[in-house]
């Protein structure tokens, strides 16, 4: 199975760099402090899970799809195990094989059933995403079983839409292959053996390597602000390091900086979280200066 590749990251935004002078981003290698996410043999695999064929999906990613994605009718999806479990969603590794033997790896993100839903932080994020029907709005507000299912569907659809837009803009995010209800099939970020790329929090690196990673992340934050968005829940735990480059994940809560009344607060929290991590690892950053820069970029687009 050939290595899946994303569109190359565009390094031409060096004029925005406030904290580091990096005229060109160096290629780097990093070490991993802890074992990266990988198949958990101790977790029971849900072999009953099925995914719609590409042609039958509720929604598909930006067109045309990347060449590595198997879209053939008759392709078979095989669940290879659990990559990650969380309060709101589980992520499985899926291998999709075409009738001619071509295959690709996908990350299947399934939002939990209503019995296990813990979307306790959704109120602020869902500002501006209200549904039109009053019955559905009431159900979501009162957390009925029906309302919880609606919330899960909103989060899945919001993540697919956000990833589609950001991937199309060239940001470093997984390609969203397809959406089926509360389940997403995403580009797998990792190696051909099914070992996921490590989180930024797991990486051990010297100052030059960390500076290069900050260069990546700063450019990604600028691109997000230019599009009018903040990640909404950014930290070193939902940033992956793949081949020495930053990839952003977990984007269901993406926030409209201007349209959401709490948008600037979410942006400031995002920036403070990542700046604190980098500062704690020897890269001194001013979160207030960077937040003001990004907020100014977002406001200029209005």
Summarize pLDDT for 30-58 with one digit per residue, the tens. Answer: 555 554 444 443 344 344 455 668 888 88
**Catalytic one of 37, 180, 216, 233:** 233
For the domain bounded by 197-300, which CATH number is listed?
1.10.510.10
pLDDT for 4 equals: 59
233 part of the active site: yes
Lowest mean pLDDT across 11-20, 140-149, 228-237: 11-20
For the domain bounded by 54-187, which CATH number is listed?
3.30.200.20
**Catalytic one of 77, 180, 250, 256:** 250
The set of residues, in sequence order, having a beta carbon less than 8 Å from that of 239 and lying 6+ positions away, is: 199, 200, 217, 246, 247, 248, 249, 274
Q: How many angstroms separate the CA atoms of 166 and 16, rounded?
A: 19
For residue 295, count other CB atoms closer than 10 A to its CB: 19
Location of each CATH 3.30.200.20 domain in the chain: 54-187
Summarize pLDDT for 272-293 with one digit per residue, the tens. Answer: 999 999 999 999 999 999 999 9
Location of each CATH 1.10.510.10 domain in the chain: 197-300
Both tokens assigned to 274: 């990542």
What is the pLDDT averaged over residues 93-112?
94
The set of residues, in sequence order, having a beta carbon less than 8 Å from that of 266 and lying 6+ positions away, is: 124, 125, 230, 232, 255, 257, 260
User: Whole-prediction pTM value?
Assistant: 0.78
Summarize pLDDT for 132-190 with one digit per residue, the tens. Answer: 556 544 544 445 554 455 555 677 888 999 999 999 999 999 999 999 988 899 999 99
Maximum distance among all Cα pairs of the chain, rounded to whole angstroms: 55
Listing DSSP states for 129-194 in one string gives ---S-HHHHHHHHHT-HHHHHHHHHHHHHHHHHHHHHHHHTT-S---EEEEETTEEEEE--B-TTS
Higher pLDDT pick, 76 / 131: 76
pLDDT for 119 equals: 44
243 part of the active site: no
Within its chain, how far is the Cα of 65 from the centroid?
18
Q: How many angstroms separate the CA atoms of 84 and 91, rounded?
A: 5
pLDDT at 11 exceeding the cut of 70:
no
What is the pLDDT averaged over residues 65-79?
94
**Half-sphere exposure at residue 11, Cβ-oriented, CA atoms within 13 angstroms:** 14
């Amino acid at each position: 199975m050939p290595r899946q590749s994303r569109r190359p990251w565009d390094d031409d935004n060096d004029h925005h760099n406030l904290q580091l002078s990096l005229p060109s981003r160096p290629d780097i290698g990093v070490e991993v402090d802890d074992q990266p996410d990988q198949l958990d043999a101790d977790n029971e695999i849900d072999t009953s899970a099925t995914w719609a064929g590409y042609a039958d999906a509720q929604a598909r990613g930006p067109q045309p799809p990347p060449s590595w994605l198997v879209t053939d009718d008759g392709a078979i999806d095989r669940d290879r195990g659990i990559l990650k479990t969380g309060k709101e969603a589980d992520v499985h590794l899926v291998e999709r094989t075409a009738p001619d033997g071509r295959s690709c790896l996908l990350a299947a993100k399934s939002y939990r059933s209503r019995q296990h839903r813990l979307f306790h932080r959704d109120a602020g994020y869902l500002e501006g995403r209200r549904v039109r029907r009053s019955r559905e709005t009431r159900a979501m507000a009162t957390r009925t079983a029906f309302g919880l299912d609606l919330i899960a569907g909103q989060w899945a659809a919001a993540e697919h839409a956000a990833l589609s837009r950001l991937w199309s803009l060239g940001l470093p995010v997984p390609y969203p292959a397809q959406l089926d209800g509360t389940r997403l099939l995403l580009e797998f970020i990792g190696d051909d053996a099914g070992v996921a790329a490590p989180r930024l929090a797991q990486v051990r690196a010297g100052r030059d390597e960390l500076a290069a990673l900050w260069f990546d992340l700063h450019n990604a934050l600028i691109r997000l602000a230019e599009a009018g968005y903040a990640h909404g829940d950014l930290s070193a735990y939902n940033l992956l390091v793949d081949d020495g480059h930053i990839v952003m994940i977990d984007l269901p809560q993406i926030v409209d900086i201007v349209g959401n009344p709490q948008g600037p607060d979410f942006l400031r929290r995002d920036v403070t979280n990542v700046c604190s991590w980098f500062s704690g690892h020897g890269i001194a950053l001013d979160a207030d200066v960077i937040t003001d820069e990004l907020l100014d970029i977002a406001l200029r687009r209005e």
